[in-house]
Each structure stands twice: as structure tokens, then as C-alpha cells.
A and B are shown apart, each in its own frame.
Chain A
Amino acid sequence: MAELKISCEAIRQVEETCEKFHNDPGELISILHEVQGRLGYLPEPVQRVIADKLGIPAQKVYGVVTFYSFFTMTPKGRIPISVCLGTACYVRGADKLLEEFKRVLGIEVGETTPDGKFSLDCLRCVGACGLAPVATIGEKVYGRLNPSDIRKIVDEIPD
């Protein structure tokens, strides 16, 4: 992954978050959760700042970040797309849906489009099995999707 420049302002925010949790190593997961909520991802320099603040090796932070699938070191798109691969969606063709998303966006699962607009992920069940197959685009849930709908939906989403 290319080394990304993190703004001083972002670093200051990370430090603030650590201080809010009293720089307590036991709060590492809460801190990572909040920082990712703000920045969208947890790049290496941010993990180093957190390690320094909490007085623990960066290796420990990295171990936790790579352990939980929730945490990511890749910046998410402004509009994250997640395709449900839960059982109900899967039997109704979610795999084909996912392939179409990959083709239309030109990226693999876990990646972000070069313009930073979309990122593609998979998830397991959003509780809308009646609408299978389902994908979430931004905050919105799209149901009863057909691979042939995807191009049009993606093209019409404003940035």
C-alpha cells in the first residue's frame, strides 16, 4: 500500500481520541473504533501514533487491527458498497451480483476505486432476507437486485 500522508489535523484528532480514553491500553479497541469512524480507515502512521500514546508496541496495535475484520487499513470509498453473501442472498444469486459489482467498478473486494468514490466489501446478512439478494450502497439498502440493474444504479449515485 502506498504511504499516505495524514494531515496534522487528523493526527491531532487521533491523539485527542487516545486522551479521551486516558491513554489506557485496555481501551485500544474503543480507540481504534472511534478513529476509524472519523478517518474511515487505520493507516500505519495512525497506528504508530496510537501505540506511542498508549505506550505499547505498534505491533500490538497492528495485531488487533488485522485480527478484527471490522478494522481496515485501506481507505474506504466515500460511498461504501457491501454485497450480502448471507445464505438467503447467496441462494438467490448474490455471487453473480458481486461479480457484476466487481466488473462495473473495476475493483476487487476490499478495494476502492481510483477516484475514491466507491469501495467494495462483502457482509453477512443485514436482516433483509425477504428482499434477497441485497446490497448496501452508502447508507441505503437495495433489495431484489438483478445483475443487470447494477450499471444503472452505480451510474446514477451522486458523489
Chain B
Amino acid sequence: MENMINLTIDNRPVSVPRGTTVLDAAASVGIDIPALCHLDLKGTCVKNAPASCRICVVEVEGRRNLAPSCATQCMEGMVVHTNSARVIRARKTVAELILSDHPNDCLTCAKCGECELQALVMRFNIREMPYKGEQSSRKHEQTVSITRNMDKCILCRRCESVCNNVQTVGVLGAVRRGFDTTIAPTFDKMFVDSDCTYCGQCVAVCPTGALTERDNTDRLLDDICNPDKIVIAQPAPAVRVALGEEFGMEPGTIVTGKLATSLRRLGFDYVFDTDFGADLTIMEEGAEILHRLKAFLGGDKSVKLPIMTSCCPAWVNFFEHNYPDLLEYPSSAKSPAQMFGAIAKTYWAQKMGIPREKLVVVSIMPCLAKKYECERPEFSVDGNPDVDYSISTRELGRLIKRSNIDFKSLPDSDFDKPMGESSGAAAIFGATGGVMEAALRTVYEVYTGKTLPRLEFTAVRGLDGIKEATIDLAGFPLKICVAHTLGNARILMDKLRKGELDYHVVEVMACPGGCIDGGGQPYHHGDVEVIKARAAAIYREDEGKPVRKSHENPDIQKLYKDFLGEPLGERSEKLLHTRYFDKSVK
């Protein structure tokens, strides 16, 4: 095998393919070299390797200086020491220098316990701060989604990499130089004045407390304690396959039943499910797909194809900012969370005789852009939002701990009826390809009038950036495409603008892997296996459901019979559909 390189790391022989870094080679034999700026979600396009922090230095025999293992390729015969006294001391000094202008307010930092810098301080046995440097004084900003405190930034550039290379949003980047360097939105503006989509991937990868979520947990506690409010919960599909990680459970553990119980114990008056909203989304979006397809097949040249999914709020922000000329392509269907809110505050509130003002609808989301989505004026009635606010999976985890609930020992329980009933199709909304697969299950059966021989559309599953397939729809070849990350969405949209996008239906999710790796999920700390485990759990959840197609959800059928009428009917259009706006920054 001439493409294999043989070297020695800590006196152990290692054989790796040519091009492997020392960091990865060491990991392959169980040597965990500490790293900080480095991030590599293998199998996705999420990668940051600027070799800027120098935490991962190693000693290479014959080389004068220490080498950053993340950026040093293995060479034949190389002899590497990752734990010599020289390396261990140098590594500690590097960390101490990083701390010299860090605020060190760890006790009250939002990232305390999850901070990768803090973990290194413990690991390196740092017990004092030998270097006291000038303190940086950079911008703080609190948006509805993201909190920015750049004094805690260590300039690892992970956020810059995801914002530019993965998402191609191009908002965050380094400005100025030397000690004055900071990571800032374009022209040092605030996020709110930029093209930021609030996808939250910068938060998902930030190693410190520089970028965190806007915390709504105290607001929620106040509402729960207020006897004049009726507070209802709706957790998203991706929450139930990740929340367990906040309590030390294995990634991929399904905690749906414990989630429902914990929300009840927190004091929510009703515990419903965003999955119900997801089934509703499929009914409306599916009908819209069929409507456009039939028009197209009927020879209507003006019909906009491909139709694109519109569940992901960061994706909506992205096309509103970057493709204002193409706003007619995405489906007008609201996201599941917003559909849920609209129905809860009309159909359900009327049924229960609860005035709208008394109701507080709280969504629990893997997402930070959902916080922004709640604030959209078009999703409110006389200033009263359909979904009052959103908390992330992480925030829910913190709130459960704060409320003395031992999550792991909780018994399972079901969601409340009627808006807690959902199909397996709704469950898979949390993974890339899931909305497409759910839509196909319904569109196929409604269009052909036949039962699907096999429910799983495996071609749209998995972590490939852009997946495509052709589905035989009673003789009509339906061309579909699924993209995740906004960078991949940009590839599709640029083609669409040139008239070269030859599909009928396109699904876009902003986050790598879909909502399971959303900006509000438990931190993956660079381990792609965590994301894969969550995806596998999502599909297990689907398989375990008695109903696996949205249109067969009995409570959805009842909602249409009692209240909505038909998909795309007058009331559905009013409550469940939206429009988009030109938000390009001039």
C-alpha cells in the first residue's frame, strides 16, 4: 500500500493514508490531542482548520519548533511526541496567553460547563493566571435569536468558516488587525442590520461564550407562574432525539415520552406537539405541490417550478435577503410551528373557550431562527403573536435542571389531544430529506390514488449536501432535490435564477444534517457521530409510529372536517399560508 504512511506517535506505530494530519492520525490510535480552533464534522462540509490557536502543538523529532498537529501532514518515518514535557508546558502557556485577555467570568457565563476553553483549562491543570494583558472591549449585541459578546471571542474563526464557507451568508468575518481584531458583521453593523439569517450555526460551533442563544427561560417561568395565563408547549421533532444528551444520555436516545412528562412537570397547562403542525404542513404543502403540478401538466406556462419547502426559517430569511426576485417559488405554507400556533389560537382556543390574550404558545425548537420567526409581524393578530416565543433544546434542558426534575428517571407519557397526535411522516421533519419524504408519502397517494408499496424514500436520506431522485408518479417522472446548508441552497438558487434548475420539488434546510444539528441543539463539540445518531433516532421514531402518513392522522382529518374545510381552502389560506418580502440589504 504505497499510499499509506508509517510513523510513530508516542512510541506507537501508526499507519495512515497519505494526506492525513498528525491530529487525525493520533485520534485513529486513541490519542486525543487537545485542539481548540480546529473543527471537522467529517462527512459534512463543516470544517475550520486555520491552525491559529496552537493548542494542538506536538513535538516532531528533527524539527526545531513545535508543529500544529491539525495542519501538519504525516510523513514517512515521522516520530511524534504529543505528551513530552516540552509539549505539555507549551500547550499550557498557549492556553494561559489566550486567557490573558479573556473576561474570565466563567461562573456566570452562558457557556459555563459547555465551554471548550474552560475544558482545556481544567485539562491543562491551570490554577492561576500568570499573564495579565490589556482587556479587549468589543461589541455586545442581543438580538431576538443570538447573543453576541465578542470579549469572549478567541478568534478561532469557526463562526467565520460556517458563515462564509458553509452557509455562504457572508456576514461574520475578521475586521481590523492585531489586538484590535474582532469578528463582526459587515461594516461593523449589528446582526439586525445585516444579511444574518439567524441560522445559529455560528452559535453551534463557537467554542466559548462569545456567541450564544437569546435566553427566554425566565420569560417562560414568569408565564408559567402567572395564574392568568394558559401556557401551552409544542416541541419540534428534532428535540426528542437530542434533549437526552443534556442529561448525559447517549446521543440518539429517543426521549419523546420523558419530554412530554417533563413539560407537564414544568407547569405547562397543555403539552401538544409541533409534529401535529408538521402533518398539517404536509397537507397544505402537499396540496400546493399537486396544485402546481396539475397546472404545469395542464400546459400552464406561468406556474412556478420547482416548488420549494418553506419550513426552515433561516432558509426563508436567506431567500428573502438574497433572492428577492424568486419569492414566488417557495411554497406559501407556513412552518409547522407557525401552523400550530395559528390553529391553537383559533380552532383550539375557540373550542376550549379561552380568549386569545390568555394563551401563551411556546415552541421548543432545535433552532435559533425560530425565535426570529415568532417576531415576524405577519405571524400575529393585532400584535398578539401566533407563537409567543421559542426556547431552544438547550434552554429546555437548563430549565428542567433548574426545576429539580430528574429527567432520566421520568416516566413516559403521551402528548395531550388533539394537537399532540402525529404521524411518522411528521417525526422525520427533523432530518435533511425528511420534509420531502413526508410530502412524497402524501403526494404519491393523493395523486395516484394508490397505496405506497414502500414508505421509505432512502434516496433523500443521509448527509450528502445535494441529493436528487426521480419518483415514478403514475407514469409521471417527478424530479426532486434535497439540499442542506445554505451554501448548497445558494448553488440551487443561482441555477434557478439562470433558469437551469430542472426539478419539480426542492427541499431546503439551513443546518448541516437538518434540524437535528440546529443552532439550538445540545452542543456536538465537533463530533459528527452525534448528528448521525440523532438522524438514526428520527427514523426509528418514524418506524415506531402506528400512523406514518400525514393524511392518515385522524386528528388532522378531524381538524379539516370540523374547521378548516379543504387544504388550500379559504380558511386554510388565511391561517396556514404566508407571503415573503424583499429584505435585501441595499
Contact = CB atoms under 8 A, between A and B. Distances in A.
Interface in A36-75: 44, 47, 56-60, 62-63, 66-68
B171 A57 contact: yes
Using C-beta atoms within 8 Å of the partner chain, give the interface range for chain A.
10 to 19
Contacts of A59: 164, 170-173, 185-186
A67 B186 contact: no
Contacts of B177: 66-68
B175 interface: yes
Contact of B175 (A44, A56, A63): A63
Interface in A66-98: 66-68
Contact of A57 (B170, B174, B176, B188): B170
Nearest to B195: A57
A67 B184 CA distance: 13
A92 to B, nearest CB: 28
A62 B187 contact: yes
Interface residues of B, number: 14
Contacts of A56: 170
Nearest to A57: B170
A58 B170 contact: yes
Contacts of B186: 57-59, 62
A43 B186 CA distance: 13
Interface in A109-137: none
Contacts of B170: 56-60
Contacts of A66: 175-177
Contacts of B173: 57, 59-60, 62-63
A44 B189 CA distance: 11
Nearest to B178: A67
Contacts of B169: 57
Contacts of A63: 173-175
Contacts of A68: 177
A63 B187 CA distance: 9
Contacts of A62: 173, 175, 186-188
Nearest to A73: B187
Nearest to B176: A66
Given A57-B164, A67-B176, A67-B177, A44 B171 contact: no
A62 to B, nearest CB: 6
A68 B180 CA distance: 12
Contacts of A47: 187
A134 to B, nearest CB: 26
23 contacts: A44-B187, A56-B170, A57-B169, A57-B170, A57-B171, A57-B173, A58-B187, A59-B164, A59-B171, A59-B185, A59-B186, A60-B164, A62-B173, A62-B175, A62-B187, A62-B188, A63-B173, A63-B175, A66-B175, A66-B176, A67-B174, A67-B175, A67-B176
Given A57-B164, A60-B170, A62-B188, 8 more contacts: A56-B170, A57-B169, A57-B186, A58-B186, A60-B164, A62-B186, A66-B175, A67-B176
Interface of A: 44, 47, 56-60, 62-63, 66-68
Q: Which 10 A-B pairs have the closest CB atoms?
A: A57-B170, A59-B173, A59-B186, A66-B175, A66-B176, A58-B186, A63-B173, A67-B177, A59-B170, A63-B175
